[in-house]
Amino acid sequence: MSVNAKYLLTRANVPPNIRPLQPADRLAVERILESTRNFTPSEIATALELVDAWLTTGAASGYHCLVVDTSDTSDTSDTNSAASHPDVRGYACYGPTPLTDGTFDLYWIAVERASHGTGFGRTLLQAVERDARGAHGRLLLIETSSQESYGATIRFYERNAYTLAARIPNFYRTGDDKLVFAKNL
Amino acid sequence: MSVNAKYLLTRANVPPNIRPLQPADRLAVERILESTRNFTPSEIATALELVDAWLTTGAASGYHCLVVDTSDTSDTSDTNSAASHPDVRGYACYGPTPLTDGTFDLYWIAVERASHGTGFGRTLLQAVERDARGAHGRLLLIETSSQESYGATIRFYERNAYTLAARIPNFYRTGDDKLVFAKNL
């Protein structure tokens, strides 16, 4: 137990690192998506398709994927530790919306369930906004479901200054609307 | 001139035929998209990407493409005439919306400019609705631009019982909103 406590203490002192998603992170992303209990198997498969597109062709895929990594990269005793056992807590996938001038979509964002409430989501979202702004983005859109299980997600967007721009009734299925949140960058 | 008149007269007597888009139709589709003067070169390139996905992998692509063809298929004097010189007047591309249960998107619909007002658009749209219903579709969505040049397009959707379900301000560019029209099937 003391080892775990030390581990947690050490890691808590490391500011989370946002970096591009790498091949070694794929399993962690799958684990994160499953941990949230918010996604169906086909949603997880679709999320991983976007990750694979990014890993295969990079920005040319139209997708950019970032992770939040709490590995202690200052620990030089094993220079490969971060790469072989990345402490990936969450990820985001975004990209420029095709056929628009300056609109970006946040396609997926997920933080492992055990790390909810730690600020990793906000750190990821701010990194996406910064990257989009850097690529002349002026509008960031996030689509989500009106289901009750997405209540915390919706409050997360609202806390981060996203406003409800549109609602498509019965989009996902009867009684499950699509909500589109928007933020001017 | 008399040849053209005869041609037009003959063709006018042939009810338009709706059929799946075939490889020989690709050039006609490109011509139709250009004739409308509503699409930018990148929009036309994107439209053709969807056509190519359909031609390469069929329904597995997630896209279905139909054309309206006024060739006189009862003319058996040259059985290849329809295939080698298809009289394609318009096309539509639609498909099931990923991760939804029963929602379909009409991705593109275009009728050659010289045939606007002839009812080919409505015939195509009704074929899409029939196909979507046959595939357990319950909702058909159409996204379009709020630009003035799309005024006739918007009135076309409204005449066909589509209602404005959502509007995303400044989606395409500043001052150019995305409109989402919807119809319950």
Q: Which residues of B22-43 are buried (b: 16+ CB within 10 A; e: fewer)?
A: eeebbebbeebbebbebbeeee
> In chain A, what's the furthest Cα-to-Cα distance?
55
Nearest CA in chain B to A142: B168
- The share of chain B scoring above pLDDT 90, in percent, equals 76
Nearest to A153 by CA among A39, A16, A17, A29: A39
Q: Which residues are within 8 A (CB) of A183 and not within 5 positions of it... i.e. 6 or more apart?
A: A129, A139, A140, A160, A161, A162, A163
Q: Residue A94: is its pLDDT beyond 70?
A: yes
- Within its chain, how far is the Cα of B125 from the centroid? 7
In the sheet that holds B103-111, the strands lie side by side as B17-20, B64-69, B88-96, B103-111, B139-145, B176-184, B163-173
- Within its chain, how far is the Cα of A67 from the centroid? 7
The residue among A136, A171, A177 with the most chain B CBs within 10 A of its CB, best to mutate, is A171
Q: Which residue has the higher pLDDT, A81 or B117?
A: B117
Interface residue ranges in chain A relative to chain B, Cβ cutoff 8 Å: 42-43, 46, 97-103, 138-139, 141, 165-174, 180, 182
Using 50, 70 and 90 to split pLDDT, how confident is the model at A113? very high
pLDDT for B2 equals 37
Q: Residue B147: is its pLDDT beyond 80?
A: yes
pLDDT in tens, B6-63: 344 344 455 679 999 999 999 999 999 999 998 999 999 999 999 999 999 999 999 9
Residue from the list A46, A165, A173 with its beta carbon closest to the beta carbon of B168:
A165
The residue among B46, B49, B50, B168 with the most chain A CBs within 10 A of its CB, best to mutate, is B168
Nearest CA in chain A to B41: A99
pLDDT for B16 equals 79
pLDDT in tens, B84-123: 456 999 999 999 999 999 999 999 999 999 998 899 999 9
Residue from the list B138, B166, B173 with its beta carbon closest to the beta carbon of A168:
B166
pLDDT in tens, A162-182: 999 999 999 999 999 999 999
CB A70 within 8 A of CB A38: no
Using 50, 70 and 90 to split pLDDT, how confident is the model at A2? very low
